Structure 1
Amino acid sequence: MSSEKTTATSGSGDIVRSLELLWGSDEPGTRGPKRGLTLDRVVTAAIEVADAEGLDAVSMRRLSAELGVGTMSLYRYVPGKAELLDLMLDRVRRARVDPDAPPPPDWRHAVETMARTNLDLYRRHPWLLKVNQARTVLGPGALQGLELALTGLKSMGLTDPETVSVILAVESFVSGIVRMEADAVQAAKETGVSDEEFWKRQEPVLSRAMASGDYPLIAALSEDTFSTDFDHFAFGLRALLAGFESLVARRAAERRE
């Protein structure tokens, strides 16, 4: 996981240029001498650096060293880091879409597939947690992912805003789980204190607090309450599906009436 603390913002550069590059309406690198470089290689290198060292490590200077070209050569392909970030985000989104995969048999499988795909995406690219994506520049990857999600959820019989809300609920749940995992790893890395040692240091004070009788419900919790063996992702996903089941059934009953 990355040690970066800053947050980047998608869509913070030249939006028109980002869209041109995302949709191929502008051919980068056509001016000046050929360098054997492509936009695809630049974006791939940027993602590899971000995966290994975090988003803060991505710079035009660093990428030029990785690619073995002069820094100014990169500006023939992408205006700067802000636009490059838009391309990186769309690339990793597109990678999670398999156009040849059979459609899910029902909306329940669609929700579970969406959740597990996003979980894998965040775990493979933890720098995504550092990006404010409130304003997404919509490239092919983003639209392909949304189209796939809408296709899978169509059978729920919800309104369009409700269907989008299902997508947001799943995304928020998954990103919250992964953020919790990443924060735990980062805390241990930054302090040099393991989770086990951190809680052991608090044990004397917590034992006295539990013996005081002021916290009877906490004191009565089972020993495995906070066990790392418990799968919070699986439990939360089952709860989400149960809630969606109830909503879908209610909507179906309303239509019959």
Structure 2
Amino acid sequence: MDDGSAQQPQRRGKQDRSSAGDPVRTLELLWRISSGPARGPKQRSSVDAVVAAAIELADAEGIGALTMRAVATKLGLTPMATYTYVPGKAELLDLMVDKVYREMDRPDLSDLPWRDRVNTIAMTNRAMLTRHPWVAYLPTTRPPLGPGMAAKYDHELRAFDGLGLDDVTMDASLTYVLGFVTSVARIAIDTARAAADSAMTDHQWWERAAPLLAQVFDPQQYPVGARVGSTAGQAHGAAYNADHAYEFGLARVLDGLAQLIENR
């Protein structure tokens, strides 16, 4: 987990979600549609440079640190100059997400069994969320409809193509897989953040809490929880292990999809 992930999540502003800006202007920016010839002095930066700087800032400090002023400072511009490239934070977030999506790996899925295809899609999304933890906390129920989103969606649907599923079920199956990956990623990010905020590892935290827990927690009253919690904690060295949760959960996701796919 990168160092930047330890600072996720942070409180979002009311516009910290996808498609919160003007839809027409956002689409123009996503697809780089010019609204007319540039006028005035030669520009010192570009939309791409603003987006790249914003992603670097969010990766390092979290989405809560992302402001137009902070991006301007990073680029050596005035805030007003930054607005000549991107009209506001809402549009900037869509551009950031779309760029991250555009840069994701897209391994060839054509010759793989369906389980391996879905596993590959899950793996590439998990890697993306590890590199850019802020994406896991950015609501995208209205996805940024740019070239990155289009390429990602088309590629990932290919994991379910040719399996006899109708289009609505293909879309739902992809949503199911990505929802699982995002949920596990969030817990992993939160775990790293807790360790950073407390300046203690999970093991150190439990060692500190153990004497008082021994006084107040009665294993006879909660026998199943005490037994299972102790066994799992010893196995993971903590209350939670992101890798184990991912591997175990993805296997169950694939088993569930198998009921849908292999029984048709």
TM-score range for the pair, normalised by the shorter chain length: 0.7 to 0.9
Whether contact under 8 Å (2:195, 2:202) holds in the other structure is yes
Secondary structure of residue in 2 paired with 1:25: coil
Whether contact under 8 Å (1:94, 1:141) holds in the other structure is yes
Question: 2:250 pairs with 228, 237, 241, which one?
Answer: 237
| Corresponding position of 1:219 | 226
The alpha carbon displacement at 1:85 in A equals 0.6
1: CA distance between counterparts of 2:155 and 2:251? 21
CA shift in 2, pair 1:221/1:212, >3 Å:
closer
CA shift in 2, pair 1:208/1:28, >3 Å:
farther
1:16 matched to 2:24? The reply is yes
Question: 1:41 pairs with 36, 49, 72, which one?
Answer: 49
Q: How many residues get paired?
A: 250
Give the 5 Å matches for 1:82-121.
82-98=90-106, 101=108, 103-121=110-128
| Corresponding position of 1:6 | 12
The alpha carbon displacement at 1:234 in A equals 1.3
The alpha carbon displacement at 1:236 in A equals 1.3
Unaligned runs of 5+ in 1: 252-257
More displaced, 44-53 or 220-229? 220-229
Secondary structure of residue in 2 paired with 1:50: helix
Whether contact under 8 Å (2:114, 2:160) holds in the other structure is yes
The alpha carbon displacement at 1:40 in A equals 1.0
Whether contact under 8 Å (2:219, 2:226) holds in the other structure is no
Unaligned runs of 5+ in 2: none
Whether contact under 8 Å (1:60, 1:74) holds in the other structure is yes
Whether contact under 8 Å (2:26, 2:91) holds in the other structure is yes
Deviations 1:90-126 (A, max 9, x none): 000111144x846352322221111001100111001
1: CA distance between counterparts of 2:109 and 2:218? 57
Fraction of identical pairs, as percent: 36
The alpha carbon displacement at 1:50 in A equals 0.7
More displaced, 67-76 or 172-181? 67-76
2: CA distance between counterparts of 1:147 and 1:172? 17
Whether contact under 8 Å (2:121, 2:159) holds in the other structure is no
The alpha carbon displacement at 1:25 in A equals 1.8
The one-letter code matched in structure 2 to 1:160 is D
2: CA distance between counterparts of 1:28 and 1:221? 65
The alpha carbon displacement at 1:189 in A equals 2.4
Whether contact under 8 Å (2:115, 2:254) holds in the other structure is yes
The one-letter code matched in structure 1 to 2:225 is I
The alpha carbon displacement at 1:239 in A equals 1.6
1: CA distance between counterparts of 2:36 and 2:213? 61
Give the 5 Å matches for 1:115-130.
115-130=122-137
1: CA distance between counterparts of 2:208 and 2:105? 46
CA shift in 2, pair 1:124/1:97, >3 Å:
same
The one-letter code matched in structure 2 to 1:130 is Y
CA shift in 2, pair 1:238/1:76, >3 Å:
same
| Corresponding position of 1:254 | none
The one-letter code matched in structure 2 to 1:10 is S
The alpha carbon displacement at 1:206 in A equals 4.5
Question: 1:64 pairs with 60, 69, 72, which one?
Answer: 72
The one-letter code matched in structure 2 to 1:6 is R
CA RMSD of aligned residues (A): 2.4
2: CA distance between counterparts of 1:102 and 1:160? 18
Deviations 1:172-205 (A, max 9, x none): 1111111111111222222334322332344345
Question: 2:160 pairs with 136, 153, 160, which one?
Answer: 153
CA shift in 2, pair 1:141/1:203, >3 Å:
same
